[in-house]
Structure 1
C-alpha cells in the first residue's frame, strides 16, 4: 500500500532519511517497521516564516518495497527512414530530433555553430579577449543558448506537453535525479555540455544525423511546399518537413523570411539590465539569517513591480552565478547569467527588465523588424558606452536610482570587464525610468536588496525573440509553406529550456 503525505522538515533533518521516516510514520499512524521505504516526489523550500523549512511530498510504502525510478526511451533505428530537417541544435532542435527517433523519423540536425567541446574555445576567447565569433558563441553552437544559460528547468509549461518526460530524458543522459523532485530543478552549466553530447551521440547511434558548421542560408520550396535547404558551403539537403528551431538570436533567419515574402510579425520582448548582488545578501534576506544553513542551497528571488503602469520584473535569476557576455556579433553588448551545478560562486545575478510593447515603438505596427532594430540599437549603444572589447557599461544600484556616476564599481563576475557609466545614457528613457522607480520598491519587499553593493550591468536584451514567425494553431506549419514548422524561442512560441524542448517535440508530433 502506498500513501502520499506532505511533511515540513527543518534543514537540520533534510538529509536524515530515518528522521523523515519516523515523522511520516507518526503522521500516518503506522509502525515504522511496516514501512518498506519512502520516495520523495517533490521538494521545495518555504521561507515565508522566520523558520525556513523544506516542504516534501513523500510516498510511503507500507507493507511493500519501493519501486526504483527507471526511464528508458523507446527509440527506433531510423537510418533509412523518412527525413526531417531540423535547423538548430538547441533544446528545441535536440528534443525534436529525439522525438523523431521515437516516431520512426530520421532527424537531420543542421547547426551553424560547433560541437559543444569545440565551442568552449570560442567562449574562452570571448571572455579573455572580448572577440565574438558570429557562428560560435554563447548563443550559437551545440545545445544553443540553453547549454550556457544555467540549465534552469523551472517552467509553467505543463499544459503544452509532458514536462516530466523532458526531465526524464535529461536524467537518462546523466542529469541528477533530483531534477525530478526539486520544485525549481537545475542542472548547471558545468554539467550540461556532457549531457548534450550524450544526447547527440544517441541520436547518431540510432541513425540520425547531426552536422556542425552547417549554416542554412536558404529554405527551398516548390508550389508552397518545403523541399529542402541550402547551406553556406553550397550543399543542398532535401526533405519535405523542416523544423526551424534557430533561437531568438538568429537574425539572419528573420531576414531570410522577409526576403522570401513570408509572414513575420513584431512581438513584445523585455529589456533592461542584469543586476548582481553578493550572494550572502540574498541568503540573509530569503532565509532570515546571518549565515546560510549548510543544508540550504544559495537562495533565489523573484520580484515584480508596477511603475506608472509598466511592469518591471526579475528574470532568469542565477544564485551563485556568473554574468556572461552573450553577443552574437561584433560591436554589441548583450549580457545573460548562468550558474554551475553547485551554485557556489560568491555572487547572485538576475535579469531585471521591463516589457517592450508594440505601442512603445509605433513603427512596429507596420514594420515587423522595428522591435528587432530597436533591440539592436540599444545593444550597439551599450558597446559604444563600454568602449570596446565587450567591456560592459555598469553602475552601482543606488547611484543609478539617484542619478549619479559611480566613482568605482564593486567586485563582480563579468569577465570582460565593466566601465562606470550613467546607464540612463544607454537605456531608452522609459526603460530607465521604470527600473529607477522599481528598484527601491524591490528593496522594501526584500531586505538588503536596495544597496550600492549591487551592480547593474547593461544590457539584458535577449529575453525572448522580438519577432514571431506565424504558424497555424493546429498543424503548427507556417501559413504560407506546407511542411515548414516555426519552432520554440526563435519563432516566438517558447521561453526557456523545457518549454523549447516541449515545442520541439510537439512540432515533430504534428508531422503526418
Structure 2
C-alpha cells in the first residue's frame, strides 16, 4: 500500500457541495483519485483502492485555503510493483506502508500462565456505568464471549433524552435522567468530539473510531483531524452498540444504582445495589462518570484508594459563529468549509493555565446539572453544527491546594460550592452576563447600563437569565479569565469584545479524584476491581475514555477466561485426556443410544458431522445410516469469510477427504447432491463441546452450523427437521448456558449422550 502524506485540494470556501453526505464523500474520493493519479503518474483505472487516512484544513493563507489529505492507495497496474510506481513517479510525499490493525488479546497462548483460578464458575464481568469507558469495555468483552453485565444508575438513552428535554423546558431535574447520568454518559449530550491527545501506537484509537462508524457514525470520523459525531447521531450509535452487546450475550440494567462493593480477602466478589440486589462476580469494572460524587464517597468509605487531582473550572463563552469563521477563514458563512473550531491557551500573571475546553462550533450551552439546587453548564452541538453561536469553556487550572482542605474529596466540595452559587444567582436558571459587565464587576467598576438589546443573544438549552456571573468564581480565577480573554483577543479578532457572552459555571471538566491502580489496571490491593475512564481519573473525553475501557478489557482478557472459553477448555481437557479403551466404550454406548432414538428411526435424511480431534466418534453412525438406506449428508465448508457450509450427500465414508481445519469433508462438484429443504423428516447431528439441559450449546465459535440452520427456520418450526447435539455425559453440565448464547444461536431439540437422552 502506498501512502501519500500531503494531497492538497484548493477550497475557496464558497463551493456548492451535494446535500447528501454520502454524495459528498463520493465526490471527494473522485477528486482525490484524480489528484493521486497525477502525483503517482498512473491512470485512474490503475488505482484499485483509495482510503482517506487524515484530513486537515490549512487556512494560514486566507486567500488560498487548502484541504490537506493523507491517503493510502493500492495499485493494480499489471507488471508494476509499488516500488516501481514510487520510483517512476518521483513523488517525495509518498512511501510504502503496511496497515496497522488492532488485535484484542483474546485466548492468546502466551497468556495461559497468567490466567487466574476462578474455581468451578468463571463468572461474568460486571461493568458499573455505560459511558464510553463502560460501553467499549463491555463491547470488546462481549465480542470475546464474556457476556458482561452492565449496571447503569441512569436511564436508557430514549428515556434519558425525554427527561433531559423536559428539564430544559423547566420541569424538575431527575437524579437518574440528566445530562450527566444515563446511557452513553455525559458525552452523549455534548459535541461528540472524538479527537484525543492520547498516543495511538497500537491502533486502539482508530479501533474506537471504527466501532463508532460501524454503529452509525459517518465515515468522515475515520479521517478528520478533529472528528465529531454530534449529540443527535450519538443517541443512535450508543443504542446500536448496546443492542449488539445484548445480541452477543450481554445484559443491561438501567436505573439501578450500585451502593457498595463486595470485597473478601482483598478480592472483589460483586456489587450491592440500592434496591438490595446483589450481583456476584470476581471481575468488576468501575466505569463511573466524573459526576458520580455520591459513589466517590461510598468508595472512599469502603477504603478504595484514591487521591485528589487537579482539574479546571471556568465559564462558557459564546460568540457568533460568523465571527469565528471570519477570523479563521476570512469568510463569514462558508459553504464548503465546516463551521470553524478554535483552540486558545495562555498563562495568567499568577502562573495559572487558562485555555479553551470542549469547543463547540455552531453549538449550544446546556444546563448540565445533576444535583438539586446546584447548577453547572456544558457545551453541545448537533451533527450539522448549524447553531448561530460558537461556544467553549474558558477554564483555569485548579489544584488540590486551591480546594481549601486536605480531604481526599475536597475537590468535590469545591465544585459543589461553585455550583450552589451559580444556582442561586438566577433561581435555577443558567446565569448569563456579557463580558464587559463581567469584567467591570470583577474589577469593581460600575457596570455599564447602556442599551444591550441589539447584542447577540446566547444559544442555551435550558432556561436562562441575565445575572452577575462574576460572583460565582473566586476573584483570582476571574482575573485569570480576564487576562486570558485579552490574550485570546489578539489571536482571534473580537474574542474579547464586550458582546462576548459568559454563562456558568463550568466545573466538571474532569474528575476531581483519581482511583489509584496498578500495572494490571486493578485498584491497589483489590484483585479483580478495575477503575477506568473519566470518573476514575484516567480519561478526559469520549475517545480517551473509550480507549481506557478497551485497555481495561484487555487486562481482564489476559487474566480471566471468558465463560465460553472456560467451559470449552474444561470439556476439551476432559475429552482429550480420555483413556483409549474408555473412549471406545463411551462411543459404542453413544452410537447405540442414537440408533435407538425415534429421531434417528423416523428420519429419512441424516445430516451429520465428521468426527475429528477427539470428538465423539460418528464413523459407526455414518456407516449404520448408509446401511439402513438413509440419505446421509456431511458438511463441506464453502466460504470461510462468511462462515458458510453446505451438506453434501455421501454413499460411503471413502468419499471423505481431509478439508478445512483437517476435518474430513465430502468433495463438491457438479454431480454432488446438496441438501435442500424437502418434505422428508430430517435429523441434524451437531458437534459441540458443552451443552446444558435447556438445549443451549457451546461449540467451537465458528458459527457455521448456526448459519446453516437459520436457512431452515420453517422446517425447524413445523418439526420436519430436528436438531440433536451429541457428546459424552461430562459435556452435559448443570449450569445454565443461556447467558452465553448469541441472538442467532440455534437451540437443539434433543441431547444424546452415552448415558441419557434429553428431549426439549
TM-score > 0.5 by shorter chain: yes
| CA distance in structure 1 between the aligned counterparts of 2:201 and 2:468, rounded to whole angstroms | 42
The corresponding residue for 2:215 is 173
CA contact (8 A) 2:168 2:367 kept: yes
CA contact (8 A) 1:392 1:417 kept: yes
**Are 2:66 and 1:53 aligned?**
yes
| CA separation of 1:357 and 1:487: change in aligned 2, threshold 3 A | same
Superimposed CA distance per residue, residues 417-456 of structure 1 (whole angstroms, 9 cap, x where no aligned partner): 3333333311111210100111121001111212223200
| CA distance in structure 2 between the aligned counterparts of 1:431 and 1:376, rounded to whole angstroms | 16
CA contact (8 A) 2:145 2:248 kept: no
CA contact (8 A) 1:405 1:421 kept: no
CA contact (8 A) 1:122 1:137 kept: yes
CA contact (8 A) 1:332 1:380 kept: yes
Superimposed CA distance per residue, residues 392-431 of structure 1 (whole angstroms, 9 cap, x where no aligned partner): 2221123322335465574111133333333331111121
The corresponding residue for 1:398 is 436
The corresponding residue for 2:126 is 85
**Are 2:516 and 1:470 aligned?**
yes
Q: Which runs of 5+ in 1 are unaligned?
A: none
1:444-455 alignment runs, 5 A limit = 444-455=490-501
1:197-216 alignment runs, 5 A limit = 197-216=239-258
Superimposed CA distance per residue, residues 25-82 of structure 1 (whole angstroms, 9 cap, x where no aligned partner): 33333344544453322111111222221111123443359xxx9x999999xxx963
| CA distance in structure 1 between the aligned counterparts of 2:386 and 2:231, rounded to whole angstroms | 12
CA contact (8 A) 1:326 1:334 kept: yes
Which residue among 262, 265, 270 is the counterpart of 2:307?
265
The corresponding residue for 2:36 is 24
1:272-283 alignment runs, 5 A limit = 272-283=314-325
| CA separation of 1:195 and 1:33: change in aligned 2, threshold 3 A | closer
The corresponding residue for 2:7 is 7
The corresponding residue for 2:539 is 494
| CA distance in structure 2 between the aligned counterparts of 1:279 and 1:178, rounded to whole angstroms | 22
- State the 1:263 CA deviation: 1.9
Superimposed CA distance per residue, residues 260-286 of structure 1 (whole angstroms, 9 cap, x where no aligned partner): 233221111100001111110111011
| CA distance in structure 1 between the aligned counterparts of 2:425 and 2:337, rounded to whole angstroms | 40
Secondary structure, aligned partner of 1:348: strand
The corresponding residue for 1:136 is 177
**Are 2:413 and 1:373 aligned?**
yes
RMSD of aligned Cα (Å): 2.4
- Scaled by the length of structure 1, the TM-score of the pair is 0.92
| CA separation of 1:406 and 1:61: change in aligned 2, threshold 3 A | farther
Which residue among 52, 59, 63 is the counterpart of 1:40?
52
- Scaled by the length of structure 2, the TM-score of the pair is 0.63
Question: Relative to structure 2, which stretch is displaced further, 343-352 or 37-46?
Answer: 37-46
1:285-300 alignment runs, 5 A limit = 285-289=327-331, 291-300=332-341
CA contact (8 A) 1:487 1:504 kept: yes
- State the 1:221 CA deviation: 1.1
The corresponding residue for 1:152 is 193
Which residue among 457, 461, 486 is the counterpart of 1:415?
461
The corresponding residue for 1:479 is 524
CA contact (8 A) 1:11 1:293 kept: no
The corresponding residue for 1:432 is 478
| CA distance in structure 1 between the aligned counterparts of 2:474 and 2:532, rounded to whole angstroms | 30
1:336-347 alignment runs, 5 A limit = 336-347=378-389
Which residue among 194, 216, 220 is the counterpart of 2:236?
194
Question: Relative to structure 2, which stretch is displaced further, 194-203 or 55-64?
Answer: 55-64
| CA separation of 1:359 and 1:435: change in aligned 2, threshold 3 A | same
1:226-375 alignment runs, 5 A limit = 226-289=268-331, 291-308=332-349, 309-363=351-405, 366-375=406-415
Secondary structure, aligned partner of 1:191: helix
- The count of aligned residue pairs is 499
Superimposed CA distance per residue, residues 139-190 of structure 1 (whole angstroms, 9 cap, x where no aligned partner): 1111111211121100122248600101111111111111101111111100
| CA distance in structure 2 between the aligned counterparts of 1:319 and 1:163, rounded to whole angstroms | 23
CA contact (8 A) 2:148 2:251 kept: yes
CA contact (8 A) 1:129 1:416 kept: yes
| CA distance in structure 2 between the aligned counterparts of 1:85 and 1:7, rounded to whole angstroms | 47
